[in-house]
Structure 1
């Protein structure tokens, strides 16, 4: 490890939407130029760098799944494919000159608060060379997100994983060197990712067996205006892009009440549930209706978008079969399920999600130590029984450290990019006294942190998220992922901070 520490006013971990947004707004809002972004991958993109699987696309309208300060008027469709979103992010990074401030192929191994210097001291590692070095900063921002660590074969809980001689890949680590043509493929999972992969590869493979471990509500895509004329108006009328973005945002906000247990929420869920059931029965093969129609309330899990009906159309193909089974063991060239069935496999695709209920900071990959050397995961475990953050961004005992898309920031009804921008705006307001030299540290009070956590968890109990459907965001009985209110409320709280909840020194 090199002995001399590098220094930046701000260090941001991750170069996806969150890191790009933070880097751009540090310059625009605060005039801060001395910052560094660290990224494990070879370029910008975050989720859209790692998730390059066939059929990858966004299931949120692109006009809202983009940064408000970097509008794009010529999206090819309402729900854009991966390459277009990836290129969009590269363009924003270029516009704000982020490449010269970003170190790629580099991971942060640890971050420790230095009480004497009143700074964060990071240990970073170049993935290609193995070289470790230190970097100090006044303000540390994590833009690592919650979808960075894919679940592995071991997470399936099946026996004899090592005996399988076929090729294995996770959707977030897609191996494009693997030729699927004529192969016997087994894909595990039936969430949003699997619903995109299945139709994308069905015509290439000899056979495609999809193993559904749990159910999801399947819905058709929505047409929020004809894409042709919205593109035309966005090009010709500068204000139209902002208007259409606001329209889509408000339209999606009207969906938020269906997550609540209010009378209105129950009525809305019943309406959506009947619509989804009718859709499944209309377009899916009859033999799969029992597998596709959940027995839990609409909204308890994230809905799966059947864009242009491609997923359900693939289920009609002769070489595609869907089974509600779990893998219990592997053999040389097959998987064996809990129903006693054996499915030959040349390739195993894991569309099994991520270690997503850890606040995006897995202790196995990044150790963060706050005041008195207290590890962040220990703080979470002892104080709250799981990850928690005041207004989704901060923890007591960890001064000048903020998270974007942190604990309880996910929304089930709208774009995550809104939550990122709200978080960035709050973080910059809080960091301004530090970065302008007026104060040295800022930290949320323990009282405010605990009060906020209790309010979040109590509200979650009054939503459909607590219906016990086995959703990824509530594993272990502690929901560290879902935001229980509307995005309008998050915007308000991030725009007008409660300064009485913060300690400045």
Structure 2
């Protein structure tokens, strides 16, 4: 239950202001956003569009915006989501070069977005948040930031703290003994040194996740030899109908100049992405048919019995993150590529000692070994009880619908635990989260709310529901996945219990009954001085509700959904399938 608080001195002026102002008076709100990647930029855009009396500061550790698309510059780095659908729903880009765009082109998209909408004025680059502590007397956060330009710490304060730091940004070396002993050139895909020339070198490549799959075919034509170390199987196959394709000048011209052409293309791709959720449910026809198709494709591309046995999984398709893997399987069979399957026992001064008893010497060792995907904040976040969210989420992170944490008031997070990071179109899910946050901030700004946080019992209920649902999904299969904290048998902490469309509908409104809300003074102080906002606007229509016909909003959820989704206008969605002419690939960050 929400309860009343005695107003603190810092808030008395706000109460007095409300008493003399009309209903829903908008107080000044200070927001600190951590990270100027895709989510942080979208937050700034939405806040700028929807609010007037708001103060936003985005602290970004890098020298540029766009997060992962600024950081990752390894050879072949690209997004395995169709490029025209790796955009905001309202911000298309007609001139993408190809179906799967490279990281530089994606960086340019988000950089252009930030400049077009004037978002850089909110961003302080090369400023890294290193700590945030809740102040109970002021009901906000004291935030400590390291100014990387001058190597000094600065302090800031906010009413609401938004973590848009993302998941795939804290890269890590593999946990292999002896890595520090290696005398050759050591590289990590997420911390790439572009000055290193691989031409004519014998290169070792550790990992067959998304990064490793992109690196191998890119470097293979230029190196003397590649020894790629693989310890477990994974599904790799471009999806029929959306293989890599470079758009022709005519296609780009039509996307730019032909009315409706680009919109229809984007809708067709998104429809396919949204039509594949049954792939992730066990023993569905979509799962079985698509798995058979993928295995057939892999066998045709590998054409090697040993590699087929080692690389094709026996668990369900989609248990681990899918990737189109353009030219990866074909490259494994090239004459200058050697596959070593198994565990690396240790790294030596010359290379890798593997469990087959052999030491493989290499000139350059590339670690395509991913990120810290534990969901813990990258900085100490201290709540009212003095506990650190890093410690609480160290074993199993438990969030409220992927956007908030119990017992940490006025704290919002993008892509938190159990949000749809791999369930369907990911940027659509991020937009949905941003819109939900705007609704929360609006309520906070126009009411005398002091603090809000999801109730622990509510989060426990959500986790219980999620765990039961996951038993029906392929994600629960015994594969090692970052969806499950890189374990084979652990709770699924990275994914939503449903489709992306399911998430969008679930987040369509704020369920305030799920929150512990505390007010500054009388909770009805927002009623103000008895006047409406309309009456104080002499340019407004003071009889706006008088009409010739009932054109007002619909109040039932069903009617709202029918209008929003244009129900009755589509005839072919029932035929959308993962396998066939309309199939689409699974999107990822």
For normalisation by structure 1, the TM-score amounts to 0.91
Partner in structure 2 of residue 439 of structure 1: 449
Q: Which moved more, 1:208-217 or 1:325-334?
A: 325-334
Match of 2:298 among 269, 272, 280: 280
**CA separation in 1, counterparts of 2:116 and 2:54?**
14
Q: Is the 8 A contact 2:236 2:329 kept in 1?
A: no
3-state SS of paired residue (1:386): coil
Is 1:187 matched up with 2:197? no
Q: Deviations over 1:273-304 (max 9, x none)?
A: 11111111111141422222112111111122
**CA separation in 2, counterparts of 1:371 and 1:137?**
15
Match of 1:499 among 493, 506, 512: 512
**CA separation in 1, counterparts of 2:263 and 2:446?**
32
**CA separation in 2, counterparts of 1:113 and 1:240?**
50
Match of 1:359 among 366, 370, 375: 375
Q: Is the 8 A contact 2:423 2:496 kept in 1?
A: no
Partner in structure 1 of residue 346 of structure 2: 329
Q: Is the 8 A contact 1:442 1:503 kept in 2?
A: yes
Superposition deviation, residue 144 in structure 1: 0.8
3-state SS of paired residue (1:447): helix
Is 1:305 matched up with 2:324? yes
Greater length-normalized contact order (CA 8 Å, ≥ 6 residues apart): 2
Q: Is the 8 A contact 1:396 1:449 kept in 2?
A: yes
**CA separation in 2, counterparts of 1:216 and 1:23?**
38
Gap change, CA 1:379 and 1:472, over 3 Å in 2: closer
Q: Is the 8 A contact 1:216 1:293 kept in 2?
A: yes
Partner in structure 2 of residue 142 of structure 1: 163
Q: Which moved more, 1:467-476 or 1:189-198?
A: 467-476
**CA separation in 2, counterparts of 1:45 and 1:474?**
26
Gap change, CA 1:152 and 1:429, over 3 Å in 2: same
Q: Which moved more, 1:230-239 or 1:344-353?
A: 230-239
Gap change, CA 1:501 and 1:55, over 3 Å in 2: same
**CA separation in 1, counterparts of 2:400 and 2:216?**
39
Q: Which moved more, 1:329-338 or 1:54-63?
A: 329-338
Q: Which moved more, 1:220-229 or 1:86-95?
A: 220-229
Partner in structure 1 of residue 555 of structure 2: none
Is 1:210 matched up with 2:220? no
Superposition deviation, residue 239 in structure 1: 4.0
Partner in structure 1 of residue 502 of structure 2: 489
**CA separation in 1, counterparts of 2:53 and 2:79?**
32
Q: After superposition, where does 1:160-309 map in structure 2 within 5 Å?
A: 160-223=178-241, 227-228=247-248, 231-261=252-282, 263=283, 265=284, 267-286=285-304, 287-307=306-326
Superposition deviation, residue 207 in structure 1: 1.1
Q: Is the 8 A contact 1:43 1:49 kept in 2?
A: yes
Aligned residues: 484
Gap change, CA 1:222 and 1:140, over 3 Å in 2: farther
Q: Deviations over 1:383-411 (max 9, x none)?
A: xx511211110112111111101111244
Is 1:478 matched up with 2:491? yes
Partner in structure 1 of residue 396 of structure 2: 386
Partner in structure 1 of residue 584 of structure 2: none
Q: Is the 8 A contact 2:420 2:500 kept in 1?
A: no
Q: Deviations over 1:435-482 (max 9, x none)?
A: 346423222222222211211122112211111111122135232211
Partner in structure 2 of residue 341 of structure 1: 358
Is 1:320 matched up with 2:337? yes
Superposition deviation, residue 143 in structure 1: 0.7
Structure 1 unpaired stretches of 5+: 1-6
Superposition deviation, residue 429 in structure 1: 0.8
Structure 2 unpaired stretches of 5+: 1-27, 520-589
3-state SS of paired residue (1:218): coil
Partner in structure 1 of residue 419 of structure 2: 409
3-state SS of paired residue (1:295): coil
Match of 1:451 among 448, 461, 479: 461
Gap change, CA 1:494 and 1:31, over 3 Å in 2: farther
Gap change, CA 1:437 and 1:177, over 3 Å in 2: farther
Superposition deviation, residue 252 in structure 1: 1.1
Partner in structure 2 of residue 106 of structure 1: 127
3-state SS of paired residue (1:428): helix
Q: Is the 8 A contact 1:360 1:406 kept in 2?
A: no
Gap change, CA 1:102 and 1:238, over 3 Å in 2: farther
Q: Is the 8 A contact 2:59 2:124 kept in 1?
A: yes
Greater C-alpha Rg: 2
**CA separation in 1, counterparts of 2:453 and 2:383?**
11
3-state SS of paired residue (1:373): coil
For normalisation by structure 2, the TM-score amounts to 0.79
Q: Is the 8 A contact 1:224 1:248 kept in 2?
A: no
Partner in structure 2 of residue 350 of structure 1: 367
- What RMSD over aligned residues (CA atoms) do the two structures have, in Å? 2.0
Name the one with the larger helix percent. 1
Gap change, CA 1:379 and 1:325, over 3 Å in 2: closer
Q: Is the 8 A contact 1:119 1:139 kept in 2?
A: yes
Superposition deviation, residue 501 in structure 1: 1.4
Q: Which moved more, 1:315-324 or 1:343-352?
A: 315-324
**CA separation in 2, counterparts of 1:169 and 1:279?**
32
3-state SS of paired residue (1:63): helix
Is 1:71 matched up with 2:92? yes
Partner in structure 1 of residue 436 of structure 2: 426
3-state SS of paired residue (1:103): strand
**CA separation in 2, counterparts of 1:412 and 1:379?**
24
Match of 2:116 among 86, 95, 114: 95
Q: Deviations over 1:194-245 (max 9, x none)?
A: 1110011112211101111211111124435985566444322454433333
Superposition deviation, residue 322 in structure 1: 1.6
**CA separation in 1, counterparts of 2:211 and 2:314?**
21
